[in-house]
């Protein structure tokens, strides 16, 4: 990871919260390198039948928009105002009390007033007023209304791709106005004229065709899982099998592809596989539904549905009874809040019952999909596995609540229960940086690309500073999380702000602590680090 | 939008007060009948229209913002209010939002301290916001005594409680003081804090200035330039029976007060003041986090083009076979 092109941490931290003299309405965007993401490549737009595929970049003067782009966007806005109560209401009822203003990690990290959620919403609200409200039509600027110009469109692009849809602002808003909803609609509108970022549309295009973001083909997935089982055998002496596309299995297991593709997610994946093996679970993974994540969430509601459809389709084809989902943030936003509505009812599946403990997961009786942390916490609670937490004694853990499981689900205590049972040194971060007030990694919602590095480091700063605090206070050297995007974006964030802390998934902790039948003596953890020496992360 | 919006707002309010004064002087009957009826009609019709319009828009997805532990395993303590899983929980959550301003109570203030962001508890906005709204409600209820004869005991009791310190003649109402102070606080905060001034529009200052004008004229005519309350009551009960008689000698200030109230009522349904109705309808707050247990229906759940397994296997069949993976069609 190269930070060569961005300012050093001691410069970046000097954030000023002074307001500029000039009104925000007349301040055009400056596409400064390091603060925005590359445009979606034409081939990916074509693969997804998205409009206006072409070669362009946001820094170009000419965005090569369709001739009637304003009409397209206004028609799209009208349609969405009639389809989403959230959108219309959030356009109408904001009183600009400013409670959200300094809750956004991008505002805290940049001091840019347009990163205050209230102003980010005003970017689109001003256009809404101009074309859809009587006072706005009559009084124009005086009523906070403005024309939809190219500068406004560019501003939308810059700031809607500078929002990670983390929903922290919505926790503080007295009316529950959720900037994520507004950003999602804003991005949909931009998509109508072909303005999107490659780090969203490429994974989406890959996922559509090959089943996963990384474009891994069936054989590749099999090979990767075999590498992981080789590693498990090397560390534990136990040979683990991973069933793939197995018809008639009881459970379908779906996890983000990053878990079996890239470090440090792979160690988390090893944790899952070891657990399933130890429990003798009758499960299968799928090469077709080989992705838990859903970058459709960062593109449009329609794309969420298109990509999510595979989960139920594959569960039906394989004839499983229910589904377990791995550690992932936005995947769980989709599964918890969209999947059943979009692609249900899953009446061909059964209400999930853990074959290990007999626990019936009533909370998932309609979707038939259980979070791996719910599943594992139940297994531990019922004493079905043996754990040796001292094998994690070289680690001093803190836990990062990922935005989506936190604020779109409320999954707080299940992962903590697993952590508390698998390690001896767990330290919480400050109260205003965890649970529902957790800070984003700064690179969710498709912004975790390298060209956007400065903005990622800025947006992730509040999270990093809270980690730094526990690092200094308690010697924390490992940041645990339950999100694959986190596992990709937090390592560089830590490298930049708190270099002595590395990142892991919760099921990696479990994999370390799990005492397996027939295992060899385990002098190292899953990463090969000696476990007796404390202090080596 | 800075100072410009402030100046425009002041000009607007001063013109409005002058108009109220002029009308009160030369044509008080106009304020007392035509404008009054028009304002009430616009307020009620407009309010209902806006709320119905929102209510008719579908809520395609169940998207509550969860602010505490979900209901999952029996032995994990779920939070029924901050993360409701059923109707009771949603009701309590909405009640805590609407009556106690729960979310605003979380407010904090971010500062940089020794190269570290720190988040101090900041309950001033919550406190003054709550006082402002609560005292407004009490004042509105107290005003019903002008419209109802005989005055219901509840209203008399409320008024007695509100004036319990029995300072001055007539007694000073606590709610009047709290209302005026909190409205001035809310205005000053907007005008003086640079961040707030930056995000504020003309339409953010005007309702506050209007409300301060209403409160100011109200207090003035109760305590200093006293108006004849019996005649006000005569007028108010006349409104209900649509008798257009205007009692003589009520006092000019009353008509300025009434004019400002009418302006506020006219302003209401066209503006952000509709948050009063909207707060009940917010889909991130008024839905249970129960999507995995009970299916939520999207009335326009539109069909989409997905990539089927058959298409997938057709593309990768040979690769799947060579990797030893099962296929549907050989």
| Predicted local confidence at residue A533, as pLDDT | 54
pLDDT category, B172, cuts 50, 70, 90?
very high
**Quick check: A58 pLDDT over 90?**
yes
Closest partner CB to B194 (pick from A19, A167, A437)? A19
Contact A219 B319 (CB under 8 A): yes
Which residue's entry shows tokens 């930049």? A496
Contact A313 B308 (CB under 8 A): yes
B residues 179..238 contacting A (CB < 8 A): 193-204
**Quick check: B28 pLDDT over 60?**
yes
pLDDT category, A535, cuts 50, 70, 90?
very low
Contact A103 B65 (CB under 8 A): no
Tell me the per-residue pLDDT of A366-418, one tens digit each, with 9 for 90 and over: 999 999 999 999 999 999 999 999 999 999 999 999 999 999 999 999 999 99
Give the pLDDT mean for B43-67: 98
Main-chain dihedrals φ then ψ at residue A238, nearest 5 degrees: -105, 130
Give the pLDDT mean for B46-63: 98
Complex prediction ipTM = 0.95
Structure tokens at B181: 């102070």
| Predicted local confidence at residue B330, as pLDDT | 83
DSSP state letters, A237-303 = S------BS-TT-SEEEE--HHHHHSTTHHHHHHHHHHHHHHHT--EEB-STT-----GGGGT-HHH
For A60, A67, A195, the CA distances from A64, given in Å and listed in that order, are: 9, 9, 10
Tell me the per-residue pLDDT of B255-280, one tens digit each, with 9 for 90 and over: 999 999 999 999 999 999 999 999 99
Q: Which H, E and C letters describe A378-409, residue by residue?
A: HHHHCCCCEECHHHHCCCCEEEECCHHHHHCC
Tell me the per-residue pLDDT of B86-130, one tens digit each, with 9 for 90 and over: 999 999 999 999 999 999 999 999 999 988 999 999 999 999 999
Closest partner CB to B198 (pick from A102, A113, A209)? A113
Tell me the per-residue pLDDT of A491-504, one tens digit each, with 9 for 90 and over: 999 999 999 999 99
Closest partner CB to B109 (pick from A81, A102, A344)? A102
Contact B66 A410 (CB under 8 A): yes
Q: Which residue of A has its CA nearest to B194?
A: A19
Tell how strand A502-505 and strand A478-481 pair up. parallel
Tell me the per-residue pLDDT of A419-451, one tens digit each, with 9 for 90 and over: 999 999 999 999 999 999 999 999 999 999 999
Nearest to A192 by CA among A50, A59, A307: A50
Contact B68 A410 (CB under 8 A): yes
Tell me the per-residue pLDDT of B229-243, one tens digit each, with 9 for 90 and over: 899 999 999 998 888
Give the pLDDT mean for A275-297: 97
Tell me the per-residue pLDDT of A461-488, one tens digit each, with 9 for 90 and over: 999 999 999 999 999 999 999 999 999 9
B residues 43..102 contacting A (CB < 8 A): 50, 54-55, 57-63, 65-73, 75-79, 82-83, 85, 97, 101
Structure tokens at A431: 């109260």
Tell me the per-residue pLDDT of A190-249, one tens digit each, with 9 for 90 and over: 999 999 999 999 999 999 999 999 999 999 999 999 999 999 999 999 999 999 999 999
**Quick check: B70 pLDDT over 90?**
yes
Q: Do you know the residue count of chain A? A: 537
| Predicted local confidence at residue A537, as pLDDT | 46
**Quick check: A181 pLDDT over 80?**
yes
B residues 310..329 contacting A (CB < 8 A): 312-313, 315-316, 319-320, 322-326
| Predicted local confidence at residue A2, as pLDDT | 74
**Quick check: A536 pLDDT over 70?**
no
Nearest to A370 by CA among A446, A266, A281: A281
Rounded Cα distance between B82 and A412, Å, is 13
Give the pLDDT mean for A180-186: 98
Smallest Cα distance from B77 to chain A, Å = 8
Cβ atoms of residues A393 and A431 within 8 Å:
no
Give the pLDDT mean for B127-140: 98
**Is residue B125 within 8 angstroms of chain A, CB to CB?**
yes
Q: Which of B201, B267, B279, B317 to probe by mutation at the A interface, max A CB count within 10 Å?
A: B201
* DSSP H or E stretch at residue A514: strand A514-515
* DSSP H or E stretch at residue B61: none
């Amino acid at each position: 990871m190269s930070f060569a092109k961005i300012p050093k941490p001691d410069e970046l931290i000097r954030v000023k919260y002074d307001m500029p003299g000039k009104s925000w309405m007349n301040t055009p965007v400056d596409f400064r390198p390091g603060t925005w993401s590359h445009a979606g490549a034409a081939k990916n737009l074509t693969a997804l039948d998205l409009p206006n595929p072409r070669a362009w970049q946001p820094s170009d003067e000419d965005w090569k928009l369709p001739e009637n782009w304003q009409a397209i966007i206004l028609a799209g806005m009208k349609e969405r105002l009639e389809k989403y109560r959230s959108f219309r209401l959030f356009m109408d009822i904001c009183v600009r009390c400013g409670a959200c203003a300094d809750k956004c990690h991008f505002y805290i990290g940049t001091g840019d007033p347009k990163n205050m959620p209230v102003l980010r919403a005003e970017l689109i609200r001003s256009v809404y007023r101009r074309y859809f409200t009587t006072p706005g039509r009559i009084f124009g600027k005086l009523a906070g209304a403005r024309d939809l110009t190219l500068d406004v469109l560019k501003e939308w692009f810059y700031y809607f791709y500078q929002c990670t849809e983390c929903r922290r602002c919505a926790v503080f808003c007295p009316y529950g106005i959720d900037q994520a909803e507004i950003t999602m609609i804003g991005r949909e509108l931009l998509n109508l004229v072909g303005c999107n970022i490659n780090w969203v549309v490429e994974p989406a295009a890959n996922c559509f065709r090959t089943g996963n973001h990384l474009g891994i083909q069936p054989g590749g997935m099999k090979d990767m899982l075999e590498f992981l089982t080789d590693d498990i055998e090397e560390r534990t002496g136990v040979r683990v099998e991973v069933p793939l596309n197995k018809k008639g299995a009881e459970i379908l297991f779906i996890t983000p592809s990053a878990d079996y593709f890239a470090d440090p997610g792979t160690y988390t994946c090893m944790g899952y596989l070891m657990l399933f093996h130890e429990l003798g679970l009758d499960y299968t993974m799928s090469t077709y539904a080989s992705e838990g994540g859903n970058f459709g969430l960062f593109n449009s509601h329609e794309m969420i549905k298109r990509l999510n459809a595979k989960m139920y389709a594959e569960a039906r084809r394989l004839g499983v009874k229910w589904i377990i989902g791995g550690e992932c943030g936005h995947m769980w936003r989709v599964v918890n809040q969209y999947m059943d509505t979009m692609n249900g009812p899953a009446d061909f599946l059964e209400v999930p019952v853990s074959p290990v403990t007999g626990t019936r997961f009533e909370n998932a009786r309609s979707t038939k999909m259980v979070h791996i942390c719910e599943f594992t916490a139940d297994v531990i609670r019922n004493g079905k596995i043996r754990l040796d937490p001292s094998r994690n004694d070289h680690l001093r853990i803190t836990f990062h609540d990922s935005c989506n499981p936190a604020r779109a689900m409320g999954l707080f205590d299940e992962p903590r229960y697993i952590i508390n049972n698998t390690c001896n040194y767990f330290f919480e971060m400050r109260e205003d940086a965890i649970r529902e007030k957790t800070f984003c990694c700064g690179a969710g919602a498709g912004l975790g690309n390298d060209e956007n590095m400065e903005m990622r480091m800025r947006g992730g700063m509040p999270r990093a500073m809270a980690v730094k605090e526990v690092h200094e206070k308690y010697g924390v050297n490992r940041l645990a999380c339950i999100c694959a995007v986190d596992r990709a974006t937090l390592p560089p964030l830590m490298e930049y702000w708190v270099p002595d802390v590395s990142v892991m998934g919760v099921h990696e902790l479990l994999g370390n602590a799990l005492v397996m039948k027939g295992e060899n003596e385990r002098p190292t953890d899953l990463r090969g680090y000696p476990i007796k020496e404390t202090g080596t992360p | 939008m800075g100072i410009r919006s402030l100046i425009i707002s002041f000009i607007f309010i001063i013109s409005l007060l002058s108009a109220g004064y002029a009308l009160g002087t030369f044509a008080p009957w106009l304020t007392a009948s035509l404008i009054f009826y028009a304002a009430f009609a616009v307020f009620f019709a407009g309010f209902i229209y806006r709320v119905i319009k929102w209510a008719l828009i579908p809520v395609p997805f169940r998207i509550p913002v969860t602010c505490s532990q979900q209901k999952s395993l029996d032995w994990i303590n779920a939070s029924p209010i901050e993360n409701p899983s059923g109707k009771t929980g949603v009701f309590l959550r909405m009640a805590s939002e609407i009556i106690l301003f729960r979310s605003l109570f979380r407010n904090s203030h971010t500062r940089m301290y020794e190269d570290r962001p720190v988040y101090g508890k900041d309950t001033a906005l919550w406190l003054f916001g709550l006082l402002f709204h609560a005292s407004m409600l009490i004042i509105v209820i107290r005003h019903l005594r002008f419209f109802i004869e005989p005055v219901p005991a509840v209203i008399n009791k409320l008024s007695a409680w509100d004036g319990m310190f029995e300072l001055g003649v007539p007694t000073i109402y606590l709610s009047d003081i709290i209302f005026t102070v909190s409205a001035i606080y809310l205005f000053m905060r907007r005008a003086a804090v640079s961040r707030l001034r930056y995000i504020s529009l003309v339409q953010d200052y005007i309702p506050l200035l209007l409300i301060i004008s209403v409160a100011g004229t109200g207090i003035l005519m109760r305590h200093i330039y006293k108006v004849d309350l019996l005649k006000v009551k005569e007028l108010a009960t006349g409104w209900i029976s649509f008798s257009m008689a205007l009692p003589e000698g009520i006092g000019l200030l009353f008509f300025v007060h009434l004019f400002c109230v009418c302006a506020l009522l006219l302003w209401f349904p066209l503006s952000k003041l509709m948050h009063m109705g909207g707060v009940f309808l917010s889909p991130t707050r008024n839905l249970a986090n129960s999507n995995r247990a009970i299916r939520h229906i999207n009335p326009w759940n539109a069909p989409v083009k997905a990539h089927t397994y058959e298409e997938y296997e057709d593309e990768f069949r040979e690769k799947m076979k060579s990797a030893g993976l099962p296929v549907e069609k050989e």
